[in-house]
Structure 1
């Protein structure tokens, strides 16, 4: 098949062709790119982690490491109990641990993004390792004659071409979902990981989604899954057949959104992302904990990750905040504003830990750290000297409306237990680079913007 056959364009009446590109275990894949000997080995990449130390939290774990129970947001100390460092033992199992290197990951991601922008007129970069592409004008849903039978769409060939370019030119694996809308493309990219390619034709959307577990629908985490099970809803087909009014009564507007996604209804357009309003990371504990050191260790790791991401984007910040989710679904936010923008990772950690002191005796299900009031590309970096920290009031914190303590937001905030995620905004998408990346946690890592 020639490249031209991949790029026969659709007519104006044909459904859109949306690709969701999700880099598999991206941080681990980048480390293997740098150290090929790590391929096939259990590999853990930790944020706030230093070589030989037990501190920090798991940012991503390779599939080999996950076989030993290693998961995103798990403390490194706990991961070491299940998977000791290979450098310190000759026994099995043993794994390899590397600290997060966002500068390197951004370099690799930029190479991937260059390919995506070359292959699509419209690209929505959701995060460092995830993006949506609208390739409607580049290919079509038409089928090709393979071995005497029309059994493959031209769009599938185009998606495979993009996957092969990423593998050949960058050297990291990607899973791609192809569908007529964003929500279904997202489900498709998760369907056959790692290194998968799943195509859902317009006529197949309902049949594809119906038998899947309800957790496969974007936006359904463990908490919502349990609540849906109480209603007798176990599959996407069950959700699609439910009464949307009943769902709205139980889950608010998000219930109607989940109902539509389960039916394959999604008319959102793929729109390019702009500059972020804020940068944030949050992480859930498997069970609520009152352990002060566990909470402080988690916040320190999140603060280090957020500050590093801000620096990698040449961004300074004027407000530092935390989110604390306490049982059952109470979302608490606190923030401190400075008199001017800074780039001071140590200060982010210090402020976040100071704000956390208020919750020292409280059981906590989830923690988050955010920097906001961002400025970009400043000629002269503002230094800490002369900037006085003052607690943010309601009027000072521009992001407060996104953090209001409502039942819906609270439920969403704890809907990805034991996963490392980005802040969740009101439309159910993850609040990453521009508060619009996906609430995506299947891969268990910080995500081209599920931490994959």
Structure 2
């Protein structure tokens, strides 16, 4: 099936929303395996403090193979090494694993590739962290083919980015998140509207979205062990014990989560990227693609009533080396021609390079109303080559952040 067969007329009405929760599996480890394919299937730990002479550090992500040895996220690195010795120190030990340092810039760049796909496929997108997001696709598909749509999302991420994702599809955010966790890794679980209560009933109370370990202990003291127990509990007793939160958790256990999938706050930047079929030496093709991407980004900024102070490009060369360049402007503008001219000029540096991917970004966004929307409104000054306030690295740092993301989560929040 093509994507068109999973979509429908946006003018149609719908009684039940269709929400996807996309959760990247062991994301940091998956990124390292993309960079080093020979690590596939091997126990892999991404963390800090395992190097010789280091005694303090923590696990950021452990692959599923490493988890079989008892290695867990947020675990002290010393405990991880006790359970899974480092391969570099014990190369002949079949019970040893591989350790890699956290490379957050690289992970953010990979995440931005994933998010580009999600924003293309979702009506609205709510980013939760670097490796997790909700999509409302109610106007994009129908329940009869929702499984095919979810599979299409997974396949595009795998094919175009090279990392696995688990996807849950349900009528609400809480159930969609539980569905994405249900069959990890690389899972796809669809919960039809009429199946929500049945799906939720056996879920452990600690896994109900919003409960948490402390509240779970309090609920267990009331003989509430599963989502089904919570769904059947007396709402007045729950309110007496936990206030309004008690009723809210009961509603979620019943699949009655009416929270809309909404972005959190204004975006910090807007970008579009495109990969080539392998690395290309045809720089004219690179320029042509960048021109199309720049036009799309400028149009998106105009539609969002966003002005921008920085214009940048991203170029990925073999094997996966990421290069970013940016120019800052004298003030916020809405000028598609300027996006074209600046981005094309920034590409000149890569004329002799093989290119795997190219991208165009506008950042340092301003959503306030302004009369001046082109560079000439600032006296015709030329764009500076440094970042805002003279910081030459400003654009490079901004590029690694994901479009419209809410901020970086701490290491403990990752799988």
CA distance in 1, matches of 2:49, 2:264: 28
Seen in structure 2, the aligned counterparts of structure 1 residues 435 and 111 have a Cα distance that, compared at 3 Å, is closer
* Residues 121-161 of structure 1 deviation map (CA, whole Å, 9 limit, x = unaligned): 211111111010011111011xxxxxxxxxxx311111101
| Structure 2 residue corresponding to 1:379, chosen from 370, 385, 389 | 389
Change (3 A) 1:271 1:241: same
- The alignment partner of 1:44 has SS state of strand
Root mean square deviation of aligned Cα = 3.0
Deviation at residue 73 of structure 1 after TM alignment? 1.1
Partner of residue 3, structure 2: 3
Contact 1:275 1:434 survives alignment (8 Å): no
Q: Is the Cα–Cα contact under 8 Å of residues 17 and 179 in structure 1 kept in the other structure? A: yes
Return closer, same or farther for 1:381/1:190 CA change in 2, 3 Å cut-off. Answer: same
Return the TM-score normalized by structure 1. Answer: 0.59
Does the aligned pair in 2 maintain the 1:27–1:60 contact within 8 Å?
yes
Alignment partner for residue 263 of structure 2, among 261, 272, 278?
272
Distance 1:136 1:50 in 2: 48
Aligned residue in 1 for 2:63: 62
Deviations 1:224-281 (A, max 9, x none): 222222111111110001122322333343322211110101111111123699xxxx
Structure 2: distance between partners of 1:434 and 1:199: 27
C-alpha distance in structure 1 between counterparts of 2:264 and 2:183, whole Å: 27
1:406: which partner in 2?
none
Aligned counterpart in structure 1 of residue 225 of structure 2, from 221, 234, 237: 234
The whole-number CA distance in structure 2 between the counterparts of 1:26 and 1:75 is 19
Aligned residues of 1:22 and 1:175 also touching (Cα < 8 A): yes
In structure 2, relative to structure 1, the CA distance for the partners of 1:112 and 1:24 (3 Å cut) is: same
Distance of aligned partners of 1:209 and 1:6 in 2 relative to their CA distance in 1, 3 Å threshold = same
Number of residue pairs matched? 289
Matched, 1:39 2:30: no
| Partners of 1:31 and 1:275 in 2: CA distance | 31
> Which residue of 2 is the match for residue 354 of structure 1?
none
Bigger drift between 246-255 and 187-196 goes to: 246-255
Structure having the higher Rg = 2
Query: Given the alignment of the two structures, is residue 166 of structure 1 paired with residue 120 of structure 2, yes or no?
Result: no
- Structure 2: runs of 5+ lacking an equivalent: 269-323, 327-364, 367-386, 393-404
The yes-or-no answer on 1:29 pairing with 2:30 is yes
Moved over 6 A (4+): none
Residues in 1 aligned to 2:190 and 2:64: alpha-carbon distance in whole angstroms: 23
The answer to whether the Cα contact below 8 Å between 1:209 and 1:237 also exists between their aligned partners in 2 is: yes
Q: Deviations over 1:95-144 (max 9, x none)?
A: 11111101000110011011111111211111111010011111011xxx
- Structure-2 separation of matches of 1:110 and 1:154: 27
Please say if residues 9 and 140 of structure 1, whose CA atoms lie closer than 8 Å, have aligned partners that are also in contact: no
Change (3 A) 1:185 1:436: farther
Are the aligned partners of 1:58 and 1:74 in contact in 2 as well (CA < 8 Å)? yes
Q: Is the partner of 1:379 in helix, strand or coil?
A: helix
Measured in 2, the distance between the counterparts of 1:434 and 1:161 equals: 26
Q: CA deviation at 1:93?
A: 1.7
Matched, 1:208 2:199: yes
Secondary structure, in 3 states, of the residue corresponding to 1:273? Answer: coil
After superposition, the C-alpha distances for 1:194-238 in whole angstroms (9 at most, x for unaligned) are 000000111111111112222221123333222222111111110
Aligned CA distance change for structure 1 residues 213 and 9 (closer, same or farther; 3 Å): farther
SS at match of 1:70: coil
The residue aligned with 2:81 is 80
Deviations 1:351-390 (A, max 9, x none): xxxxxxxxxxxxxxxxxxxxxxxx99853459xxxxxxxx
Segments of structure 1 that go 5 or more residues without pairing to the other structure are 142-152, 278-311, 315-374, 383-432, 438-444
Three-state SS of the structure 2 residue aligned to 1:87 is coil
